[in-house]
Chain A
Amino acid sequence: MSVGLGLIGRVLGGALFAGAWPLLAHATSAQALVSQGNGRGAPPCQSCHGADGAGQAAAGFPRLAGLDAAYLARQLADYAGGTRADAVMQPIARALSGDERQAVAAYYGRLPMPTIRQAPRPAANGPGATLATRGRWSRRLPACEQCHGPGGVGVGPHFPPLAGQPAAYIQAQLKAWRRGTRRNDPLQLMQHVSRALSDGDMAAVAQWFAAQPLPARSGGR
């Protein structure tokens, strides 16, 4: 776990913030999980994903704020169940109860879209842009946007946003699908896609989406 779990100041700040926020007991407990952890092995979510849920681009920690809550809950369940293998997240997900997973998923799903620093935008006619917007049909590859939405803003509970996610995160997920360590995609869509991409393709498309602006709000229909 290479990440900065020791951000004590942030954690304390989050705890104070939680105390000052008069919400339902359920929501308060989600706030506590996010800011303090659960005391049974799950550290505070915000130590990596940020108090605002923006993630940390440099470390490759993804944004969670504004993602579909059902998507987030399923990811936690899949970490726990092993169909999304990850050395950091699996023990954390396993340390959370089912209710706690639902609570933090709902919490992050409700957070407003954070402000993130936009990554520099790659060339509009480069390989990343082409894969994102047109695909590569000679390899039967649809455009990423055909499922993840225009600009990669995400569509419903099954096609998460790519826009503004750290390039390192997107690239790592593509490699995990290709390796088979992540295999929780519906209908094996991403496992198939990842096998048709070279390492260079993965880097290019990750950089493209990292530079796309966040939508006002992700969402489905």
Chain B
Amino acid sequence: MTLRLPLLLVATLALGACTGDGPLDAHAADTTAPTSASPAFAPPPESAIPQGPYGDMVRLGREIFLHTRANAPGYVGNGLACVNCHLDAGRLADSAPLWGAYGMYPQYRKKNRHVNSYGERLQGCFRYSMNGKAPPLDDKVIVALETYSFWMAQGAPLGRKLQGAGYPDVPAPARPADYARGQAVFQRDCALCHGADGQGQKVAGAYVFPPLWGSDSFNWGAGMHELDKAAAFIKANMPLGRGGLLSDQEAWDVAMFMDAHERPQDPRFNGDLAATRKAFHDTPMSLYGRRVNGHLLGAQPAH
């Protein structure tokens, strides 16, 4: 019996690359476009985490990464966890691994127009992707995540984009991304896990499959709300365990479908949707402040 194993698309998507441009999310820094010369790297096995206080901090970082709400209470405002967008506890290549991000900071980011430390970059994840509050830079949550990242990146070259860092770009689709086609992909390959309404599925009050939009998902400031980043994540990583099964067109279409739904407001919202779009989302990759199917996105954000 030859089963062809068609598409397993389970879950289309998980969530959002935290914020804007660094390799923690979808794409490398502006100045470090991937090249064929990108060095390969493999993180150390978890069994190599040492005993003692340093190893304890590495392990705490891993636990925060896997079970974010439970281990970073007070800083998480939705139903997501870091590992939803950075698979295998932040270790998986092409899933914005921590080892691909750590050595790229400090870095100038267009998102906030200044040089960001790695810690500040992590703060952005909490503020946008986790729709929560940024932990202070000297908070144990940030220290633990930095320590976990540092441990994972040991031996990697500094300041060079590594193979497998970020999410691989998906070539621009032949046809513009389309809501209706994306909806069909969603229903076929994503709804099984994320639910027909995209709100994920819970057990005992905790999400097993993450919500893709709505009040418990990433907010309008998260990088995953941009079509190219979402398409890149989806193409490489969804359905869970079967990344690469969607066509490029399907990845763009279903990314558009996901990102054409309401989600919590961008915390930088200044009271004027058009002005906020102009200030922070002036790109065709963002549907914020755009009208889709008659609805002005961002006008009635989820609470």
Contacts of B206 in A (CB 8 A): 150
In the complex, what's the smallest C-beta–C-beta distance from A22 to chain B, in angstroms?
33
Return the chain A residue nearest B199 by Cβ.
A221
- The answer to whether A220 has its CB under 8 Å from any CB of chain B is yes
In chain A, positions 177-221 with a C-beta closer than 8 Å to chain B are 180-181, 183, 186-189, 191-193, 215, 219-221
A133-144 near B? 1/0 per residue, CB < 8 Å = 011010011100
**A-binding segment of B101-109, B141-149, B188-196, B290-298:** B188-196
Contacts of A215 in B (CB 8 A): 203-204
B236-272 near A? 1/0 per residue, CB < 8 Å = 0001111100000000000000000000000000000
Q: Is the CB–CB distance between B241 and A142 below 8 Å?
A: yes
Q: Is the CB–CB distance between B8 and A187 below 8 Å?
A: yes
Q: Is the CB–CB distance between A187 and B1 below 8 Å?
A: no
CA distance A147 to B10 in the complex (A): 10
- Known contacts A135-B88, A187-B192, A215-B204: A142-B5 contact under CB 8 Å: no
CA distance A199 to B199 in the complex (A): 36
CA distance A37 to B296 in the complex (A): 59
In chain A, positions 131-187 with a C-beta closer than 8 Å to chain B are 134-135, 137, 140-142, 145-147, 149-150, 153-156, 158, 180-181, 183, 186-187
In the complex, what's the smallest C-beta–C-beta distance from B197 to chain A, in angstroms?
10
In the complex, what's the smallest C-beta–C-beta distance from A190 to chain B, in angstroms?
10
CA distance A187 to B7 in the complex (A): 6
Give the bracket for the number of chain A residues in contact with chain B.
20 to 34
Query: Which among A146, A150, A188 is the interface contact of B8 at CB below 8 angstroms?
Result: A188
CA distance A167 to B241 in the complex (A): 24
In the complex, what's the smallest C-beta–C-beta distance from A215 to chain B, in angstroms?
7
Q: Is the CB–CB distance between A188 and B6 below 8 Å?
A: yes
- The answer to whether B111 has its CB under 8 Å from any CB of chain A is no
Query: Which among B7, B89, B201 is the interface contact of A220 at CB below 8 angstroms?
Result: B201
CA distance A147 to B5 in the complex (A): 18
- The answer to whether B202 has its CB under 8 Å from any CB of chain A is yes
B88-115 near A? 1/0 per residue, CB < 8 Å = 1101100000000000000000000000
CA distance A150 to B89 in the complex (A): 16
Q: Is the CB–CB distance between B1 and A183 below 8 Å?
A: yes
Q: Is the CB–CB distance between B88 and A189 below 8 Å?
A: no
Q: Is the CB–CB distance between B3 and A180 below 8 Å?
A: yes
Query: Which among B1, B87, B192 is the interface contact of A186 at CB below 8 angstroms?
Result: B192
Q: Is the CB–CB distance between B1 and A180 below 8 Å?
A: yes
- The answer to whether B9 has its CB under 8 Å from any CB of chain A is yes
- The answer to whether B273 has its CB under 8 Å from any CB of chain A is no
B190-227 near A? 1/0 per residue, CB < 8 Å = 00110100011111101011000000000000000000
In chain B, positions 129-174 with a C-beta closer than 8 Å to chain A are none
Contacts of A221 in B (CB 8 A): 195, 199-203
Query: Which among A134, A146, A192 is the interface contact of B208 at CB below 8 angstroms?
Result: A146
Query: Which among B88, B202, B242 is the interface contact of A137 at CB below 8 angstroms?
Result: B88
Query: Which among A134, A187, A191 is the interface contact of B10 at CB below 8 angstroms?
Result: A187
Q: Is the CB–CB distance between A137 and B203 below 8 Å?
A: no
Query: Which among A140, A141, A142, A219 is the interface contact of B203 at CB below 8 angstroms?
Result: A219
Query: Which among B192, B200, B241 is the interface contact of A192 at CB below 8 angstroms?
Result: B241
Q: Is the CB–CB distance between B92 and A192 below 8 Å?
A: no
Q: Is the CB–CB distance between B242 and A147 below 8 Å?
A: no
- Known contacts A137-B92, A141-B241, A219-B203: A191-B193 contact under CB 8 Å: no
CA distance A71 to B64 in the complex (A): 34
* A158, A188, A219 — most chain B CB neighbours (10 Å): A188
Could you give 12 example pairs across A and B, Cβ below 8 Å? A134-B89, A135-B88, A135-B241, A147-B193, A147-B240, A149-B203, A149-B208, A153-B203, A183-B1, A183-B3, A192-B242, A220-B202
Known pairs A149-B203, A180-B2, A183-B3. 8 more at Cβ < 8 A?
Answer: A140-B241, A140-B243, A142-B87, A150-B206, A187-B10, A192-B242, A193-B241, A221-B203
Residues of A near any B CB (own CB < 8 A): 134-135, 137, 140-142, 145-147, 149-150, 153-156, 158, 180-181, 183, 186-189, 191-193, 215, 219-221
Residues of B near any A CB (own CB < 8 A): 1-3, 5-10, 87-89, 91-92, 189, 192-193, 195, 199-204, 206, 208-209, 239-243
